[in-house]
Amino acid sequence: MRNILYIIIATLALTACEEEIGEITFETKPIIIVNAMLEAESEEHVVQLRMTGLNETTPLPSAEITVYVNGEQVATVTSDCEYYRFNAHFEANDKVDIEVTSKEMHQKASATCIVPEAASIEKTASSYIRTKNSFGNMDNYLRSLITIKRAKNKGTSYYRLTLNDDIYEVKVLSSTWDEEAEEYIYHAKFAHSQFHRYYYHRDIALNNGQADGNNDNEEYIDWFSTSENIYGIFTSAFFDGDKYTLNIDTDPYYGMEFLRHLNFKVRSITSEEYNYLAGVSTLKGYEAGYMLSNPAVVASNIKGGTGIFSISTATEAHIEEAKIEYLEREQFDDYIKNGTNEYEDDYEYE
């Protein structure tokens, strides 16, 4: 009888754990999956409930979720689908309990989370650099240095780094020839786009202690490569005292005129969330049958079920990259602040 390793990959949010999720077999009774990585700065929260299965999971509607903060009940919610929404306020060091009851399936599941304290941003800096890319070729990057300071904590602290990369640019729509001036007049419009990718291979913490330099050696063979850090998780084990400077590279932008805001968010997460995300990263890089491939192990902190329940706090670092030649800086600032201005629809410049 075949066994299938069942791993939860969260579609709403991804987080972490104390026990292995383990195997699902033909004899295994379906159990509740709790998928909840909540953010303390948000007042509205979403929990996803599903049931395990041999080949696929199924939605769990008509259950009841009860949430407690420091022993006080703050929310009770039901739903006619798998997504359960509720409002609640969480602060650092709150003890938050969640209870899930499904009368239809005759099952209960629960979990507890202590909300971690947010780190603080000490300073930021950025510079253009030229270094080797993943293919070993020289390329240009924008390097961002972000010094963070962790909250007072006797033990290990856990973090996750995300990037919201906003780019505002003047797009040239067309051009016309001005006979009198004997030059082209360009017709342009503001445009906005987003990118979210960053490179961390020069950062010790995001590389889990491995100093990158392998790309500099063409003869290097990575026999024991670790899983890619897909979710940007790291710990305070690499801090100098209570501080650490993240070393992050992003692709430079080559627009004609633009204003770019890199909004890095450093999330303080629980150890359960850290372990879960590490497990999912390993799973994505797992090659079955390959002798040196890391085994895929994902854990759970849900009693009576499986999945993840976690709450994180966040602090933000803002870095700006700009190239403005034809338009005044105030025009960009006004557009970003108000979403529109007199130049948005059609602006002519030489």
**pLDDT tens-digit readout, 27-86:** 578 999 999 999 999 999 999 999 998 888 999 999 999 999 999 999 999 999 999 999
Same domain for 131 and 262, yes or no, is: yes
Q: What is the mean pLDDT of residues 217-228?
A: 52
CB of 246 closer than 8 Å to CB of 317: no
Same domain for 141 and 258, yes or no, is: yes
Same domain for 111 and 124, yes or no, is: no
Q: 273 lies in a domain?
A: no
Same domain for 256 and 301, yes or no, is: no
pLDDT at residue 78 in the model: 96
Q: Coil, strand or helix: which one is 189?
A: strand
Enclosing domain of residue 257:
120-267+315-349
Burial of 297 (0-12, 13-18, 19+ CB in 10 A): middle
pLDDT at residue 287 in the model: 58
Same domain for 84 and 96, yes or no, is: yes
Q: 272 lies in a domain?
A: no
- Could you tell me which residues are beta bridge partners of residue 202? none
Q: 277 lies in a domain?
A: no
Tell me the one-letter amino acid at 94.
Answer: D
Same domain for 102 and 220, yes or no, is: no
Same domain for 194 and 331, yes or no, is: yes
Q: 183 lies in a domain?
A: yes
Q: 274 lies in a domain?
A: no
Place of tokens 């919610």: 77
d(Cα 240, Cα 244) in Å, to the nearest integer?
A: 6
Q: Per-residue confidence at 10, pLDDT binned at 50, 70, 90?
A: very low
Q: Quick check: 220 pLDDT over 80? A: no
Same domain for 69 and 213, yes or no, is: no
Q: Quick check: 177 pLDDT over 50? A: yes
pLDDT at residue 116 in the model: 96
Taking the whole predicted model, whether its pTM rises above 0.95 is answered as: no
Backbone angles phi, psi at 284, to 5 degrees: -65, -25
CATH number where 300 lies: 2.60.40.3580
CA angle, residues 195, 197, 203, in degrees to nearest 5 = 145
Same domain for 77 and 174, yes or no, is: no
Number of domain units in the chain: 2
Same domain for 124 and 45, yes or no, is: no
Burial of 295 (0-12, 13-18, 19+ CB in 10 A): exposed
Same domain for 75 and 162, yes or no, is: no
Same domain for 199 and 182, yes or no, is: yes
pLDDT at residue 180 in the model: 77
